[in-house]
Amino acid sequence: MNERYSRQVLFPGIGKEGQEKIRGKHVLIIGAGALGSGSAEVLTRAGVGRITIVDRDYVEESNLQRQQLYTEEDVLGKLPKAAAAEKRLRAINSDVEIRAIIGDATPELLEELAAGIDLMMDATDNFETRMVMNDVSQKYKIPWIYGACVGSYGMSFSIIPGKTPCLNCLLRTIPLQGMTCDTGGIISPAVQMVIAHQTAEALKMLVEDWESVRTTFVSFDLWRNQYTSLKMSKAKFAGCLSCGEERTYPYLDHENRTKTTVLCGRDTVQIRPSNQGEVSLEKLAGQLGSLGYQVKGNPYLLSVEMGPERMVIFQDGRALIHGTKDLTHAKSIYQRILG
């Protein structure tokens, strides 16, 4: 056994047999931001055989406060996060096969990657992608670990197909956070706490110690010294379209996705959310203004200056991203602000 993993092997929950199992597993990480970069480093150091990372964004200066794999050099080079993460992770552990995919985590891509994946890690910044992950998980029987954080608050839940409620079930029960780091800010310790919860559960699953996997939904607020662990067995819903008795995997359906369109003759992308709901423009204006954005508005819309781009948000959640024709970039901006 490689001396590199000797301290991990000494841990009774893993041992030599568990380390061999870890070495034989393939983990898919969706997102290479704060949670993704941290989880990827932990699992790379732990000796996971293969890690695939999917991310559509590039490294920005504001990332350096909490996204541990990246440097100022990556910011200057505007390196895609997936590429920068791949380079750093290979330098950390050359025994691990690292694959970076620079792009959107679409249903088509995730279904294409599903074969041979042992575990999925949620490190994305929006619920649309999480719901796609959830349906892929249920369809292909791949466990995944939900995780999210904003401000000083974080949460995590392990989802095992056929055993636990899925994310679609949970949305009927738990009011999950709607703020994003761009609207509510974030402190690094909250990120690290979620990473600890997610990767601890990941190691349990990778060594196949299913009895030790936590079955409760954990949430915490480090600033307010609050910690909650909720039993979720009763949240499982027989009529759930993702994991129920007559499942249809609705979030793999093209009709249920956010619609993006380049407006004819204009350097503008229109984004229309799949599930329309009224946005509190006054509340959003206050949040964005406190973070230094230049915000103007009226009772019908909000205009937000964002460097080279300008985002106009309407009450029904529709938005126009001016200054780009890149659909993926526009969608990323939209989800950073509206979650």
Length of the chain: 339
Neighbour-count burial of 216, counting CB atoms closer than 10 A to its CB (0-12 exposed, 13-18 middle, 19+ buried): middle
H-helix or E-strand containing 145?
Answer: strand 144-150
Taking the C-alpha atoms of residue 122 and residue 41, their distance in angstroms, rounded to an integer, is 14
Taking the C-alpha atoms of residue 180 and residue 186, their distance in angstroms, rounded to an integer, is 9
Does the annotation mark 243 as catalytic? no
269: β partners = 262, 321
| Given 149, 169, 181, 243, the catalytic residue | 181
- How many other CB atoms sit within 10 Å of the CB of residue 141? 10
HSE, side-chain direction, 13 A CA sphere, residue 107? 17
3-class state of residue 131 by DSSP? helix
- How many other CB atoms sit within 10 Å of the CB of residue 296? 13
Taking the C-alpha atoms of residue 151 and residue 135, their distance in angstroms, rounded to an integer, is 28
Dihedral (CA of 87, 107, 233, 225) sign: positive
Q: Are 201 and 39 in contact (CB under 8 A)?
A: no
Taking the C-alpha atoms of residue 141 and residue 181, their distance in angstroms, rounded to an integer, is 31
Catalytic annotation, residues: 181
